Amino acid sequence: MSGSQGQMIRADILRSGFLLSDPKCVWEPQQCFEMLGYEVDTAEGLFKVPASRLGKFGGVLEMVWRLRKSVKARGVAQVVGHILSMRLTIGPVTRL
C-alpha cells in the first residue's frame, strides 16, 4: 500500500466518524511491529515477547525465588499469570 492509499484509508475512517490515535496509527506497510503486547514479525512468521515484558517477568521470578521458603499464593499467581500471558509464544505447555 503506497502513501496515497494510506491517506485515502485514513480519510475514509475519519469520514465514517471514527476517531484516530495518531501515535498508534501506521499508514505504511511493516513486517515487524508490536501489537497486543507481542512483537509480530510477519517476514519470519513469529510472535515474540518484548524485552520489557520479559524484564517484568524476571523481576517476579526473582522475588519468588528470593522468598521461596515463605512465598505467598499471590507471588505464585503472578508467575502463573505472566506465563499464561505469554502462551502465544511459549505454546500449549503453558496449560500444564
pLDDT of residue 30: 86
C-alpha separations of 23 from 2, 15, 20, 34 in Å = 19, 19, 9, 13
Encode pLDDT of 48-87 as tens digits: 999 999 999 999 999 999 998 898 999 999 999 999 999 9
The distance between the two most distant Cα atoms of the chain, rounded to a whole number of Å, is: 61
pLDDT of residue 3: 66
Q: What is the pTM of this model?
A: 0.68
Mean pLDDT of all residues in 32-42: 92
User: Distance from CA of residue 50 to its chain's centroid?
Assistant: 7
